[in-house]
Structure 1
């Protein structure tokens, strides 16, 4: 019954699709290499327990689970950050200097049928583990921008948030944890009408209520939006978050990267282990997130004391599907031959391949001599 179909959220790739995807991966990896990031690989299969970290935010129903021969629960990795942290805790546990790692790996998540999201996709990303915070944040943002530029696009934005801004605005409210979660969700989703109704059901000061109503409407490009956040802040933690972003933004402005930035301090992270800045990338004309990342000091601090970490991943399949990655036309040779002159055909093929040409050998009963035909093809 299932012989000729594949599971929901997966797909087969044919030659040109494979080449476009490889082109994206190679461009991104070149940027990572130039910044000194070393490649690592982790198993596709991990113990499910690894992803049950209390602050991971990974929902159980989104994880592919199965059992090994000993009855232990295994999982196809739904994220790369936690496997990288596990790797650092073992192979890099005695390293005292900064650790710069890169990866390109398939990720597996269970999404609802007809959601339009892929259950298997490829992420390319970096993780920067160090004792220093400010410069590593700056480096990660620069590399994120350079990675998207490397595949030939300029019409993109890196949207930056800082989770402590909203967290510190909410944490002192005399409301339940469930109500705090609802408030953060409505702000991020910018559901203004529902947010207004919800705020009318909880007992908070009118000025604070006005702040929460204005927050989803305050976002956008330009450093001026950070001044608005500064004016809106009503405690020291919020001010510190804004000032930190202003320093980062000014550094990016000086090197000419401010045109790629936008800010939204109403963001809440997809994964709840983030502790500082969070960011995501969008390409103009598409509402899909192609890049996401952030700082996760507590998670790495559990396995490497006094160290913090920041990282991001790029959804290669999302990029490949929305970019017009024109492949280069190249010249190839088809050598058509019969059984009696196959050795001569093979030798001729060697000669042409040594010159860098693609050569395809095609046996034919109808061909008396060796016939060499030039042909254009799409290649790397």
Structure 2
């Protein structure tokens, strides 16, 4: 009986840790302006079978519903969220931010794996831009920092880099899959013999062999990658990734980002930037994400987006601290001009650490953005303006801004 009590007591402690982890994640997601949504636990199998770029259908948990139709336990959240939006919007009306904490169900790839797991993730529906992509990666990194991790690495790659090389050779789908597996495993010994089985140009073979080695500091990796570039698009991809990295440096995350051009698309619908997060003393990714601009096309809608999902059980297992700080989200919208991107990020970071919910946009997007906010800041070369209700006040420093916010809260 004593042993049973100890086991049950540990289960309670583990669940409390699980709940605190989710609470911390929820609070951080809200500081970036995301709203929580939910998708059904059961979905029609056709939703996934008709989507060409979805998860492995063999991993789905299938059942027969009362009408005789094949249904699946929710294996993914991104697909149903995109489908729900596509049913209402043939074209993205404005930026939309959603987050979720839901169980997903898949057949495990190993014997002691679990069918059920909890995912916490965000979906940011927006046009492609380095600023938007960097913001989502920064949110992923900040979430891991909130949980108490100190050694955080976000590996960033691009689905298009490998895709461009593959389009230059004629391989069957199963051969492409095998090549992806070799590159993902960084199996340099077997990649060249595998490629020699096909009629492939020597320079393309050399490029594919080098891809697994293109890992490390983004500036250094980009410089080495220029030597294997075969197309203008590959060159543009490297430029884009470096721009994202430069913005992430403004968030103070330069020591947390590595470039990995051997990071191959781990979900079929990712089309551009892809990334995964690692923490200390844990040997597999605790979060994965990327941009998926074409998934909406599967449902007849133009819905470009970027997002990521955390594996909550992995985070709980990896956690060595239970540090959780309470936050009270308050909406603030920051509008900035091109010259003041760095300053707007600095102010947004400071405000988020003071428990405010903050959204940042270029000034030219102000009219198209319908997101309501309690406060609005305009950061420009001419003037910094704080707006509350109909009153506008200029400010010069962060301390002045905090006094204005505190004064506005006192008047509410």
1:60 partnered with 2:57: yes
> Normalising by structure 1, what TM-score?
0.78
> Normalising by structure 2, what TM-score?
0.72
* Alpha-carbon shift at residue 323 of structure 1 (Å): 1.1
SS for the counterpart of 1:127 is strand
How many correspondences in the alignment? 317
Alpha-carbon displacement from aligned partner over 1:92-132 (angstroms, at most 9, x marks no partner): 66872111101000011101452x43221111100011234
- CA-atom RMSD in angstroms: 2.2
1:27 aligned to which of 24, 38, 41 = 24
* Mapped partners of 1:272, 1:35: distance in 2: 27
* Mapped partners of 1:72, 1:29: distance in 2: 35
Cα distance change of structure 1 residues 259 and 304 upon mapping to structure 2, 3 Å threshold: farther
Q: Residues 124-203 of structure 1 correspond to what in structure 2 (within 5 A)?
A: 124-203=120-199
* Alpha-carbon shift at residue 32 of structure 1 (Å): 0.7
Cα distance change of structure 1 residues 56 and 234 upon mapping to structure 2, 3 Å threshold: closer
Q: Is the contact between residue 20 and residue 327 of structure 1 (CA under 8 Å) also seen in structure 2?
A: no
Alignment match, 2:366: none
* Alpha-carbon shift at residue 22 of structure 1 (Å): 0.9
Cα distance change of structure 1 residues 23 and 111 upon mapping to structure 2, 3 Å threshold: same
Unaligned runs of 5+ in 1: 1-10, 329-380
When structure 1 is superposed on structure 2, of 185-194 and 303-312 the one drifting more is 303-312
Cα distance change of structure 1 residues 42 and 15 upon mapping to structure 2, 3 Å threshold: same
Alpha-carbon displacement from aligned partner over 1:167-188 (angstroms, at most 9, x marks no partner): 1012021444443333233222
Q: Residues 244-259 of structure 1 correspond to what in structure 2 (within 5 A)?
A: 244-259=240-255
* Alpha-carbon shift at residue 192 of structure 1 (Å): 1.5
1:78 partnered with 2:75: yes
Q: Is the contact between residue 92 and residue 302 of structure 2 (CA under 8 Å) also seen in structure 1?
A: no
Alignment match, 1:368: none
Cα distance change of structure 1 residues 94 and 226 upon mapping to structure 2, 3 Å threshold: closer
SS for the counterpart of 1:172 is coil
When structure 1 is superposed on structure 2, of 85-94 and 246-255 the one drifting more is 85-94
* Alpha-carbon shift at residue 300 of structure 1 (Å): 2.1
Alignment match, 1:41: 38
Unaligned runs of 5+ in 2: 1-7, 325-412
